[in-house]
A and B are shown apart, each in its own frame.
Chain A
Amino acid sequence: IAGITQAPTSQILAAGRRMTLRCTQDMRHNAMYWYRQDLGLGLRLIHYSNTAGTTGKGEVPDGYSVSRANTDDFPLTLASAVPSQTSVYFCASSENGGPLQYFGPGTRLTVL
């Protein structure tokens, strides 16, 4: 069982470029989440999805969009990357939106 996989592992991106971070889970969890982790700020929620077909905004949604076409996949898109989006991005999932969230290995993104 892989749990949650994320791709790419790391990426360097020019400012203004579009980028999609991929997240796939095989636990059949209904709820999925995207966080960014920055030094001193901890993990902050970007977007979430309680079930396939629905999404919601978290604490820091600006500049990001998500979609949830099916249970397993939850891609995060940066339409036009800016340097302040340099961060480590984690995807997570939970069963039925419960408080126990399980995290993927992360994507380390640098925007220059």
Chain B
Amino acid sequence: QKEVEQDPGPLSVPEGAIVSLNCTYSNSAFQYFMWYRQYSRKGPELLMYTYSSGNKEDGRFTAQVDKSSKYISLFIRDSQPSDSATYLCAMDTGRRALTFGSGTRLQVQP
């Protein structure tokens, strides 16, 4: 079993929809939780990060961490075609080594 599980998708939604992207993990030592966005043939771009449990909001994006369930989510409100990308979750115990999910491909249809 992988330490971090992420549904590969693709997830296809109409423009304006609320998108929910999720990861589950097994290592209870993870403390830092990141979301990266990766456009086709580009490098991953850091989108949001959260330390420990709780929510964090940045514009149309909300990151949520539930450590009791070992479950993290990224919500995108009012999704746009420009949000079409692969979204990678990543986690860190604080020991300088990220563990990545395999990514969820999102397609926002205009």
Contacts and interface: CB of A to CB of B under 8 A. Distances in A.
Interface of A: 4, 31, 40-45, 48, 50, 58, 90, 94, 97-106, 108
Given A42-B102, A99-B94, A100-B49, A106 B32 contact: no
Q: Which 9 A-B pairs have the closest CB atoms?
A: A103-B43, A42-B102, A99-B92, A99-B32, A43-B100, A97-B96, A42-B100, A103-B44, A105-B43
A42 B102 CA distance: 4
B57 interface: no
Interface of B: 6, 8, 32, 34, 36, 41-46, 49, 88, 90, 92, 94, 96-98, 100-103
A58 B44 contact: no
Given A106-B42, A106-B43, A101 B102 contact: no
23 contacts: A31-B96, A40-B102, A41-B102, A42-B6, A42-B88, A42-B102, A42-B103, A43-B44, A50-B96, A90-B44, A98-B96, A99-B34, A99-B98, A100-B34, A100-B49, A101-B46, A101-B98, A103-B36, A103-B43, A105-B42, A105-B43, A106-B41, A108-B41
Nearest to B6: A42
Given A40-B8, A50-B96, A99 B49 contact: yes
Contacts of B88: 42-43
A41 B5 CA distance: 11
A97 B94 CA distance: 9
A102 B49 CA distance: 12
Nearest to B101: A42
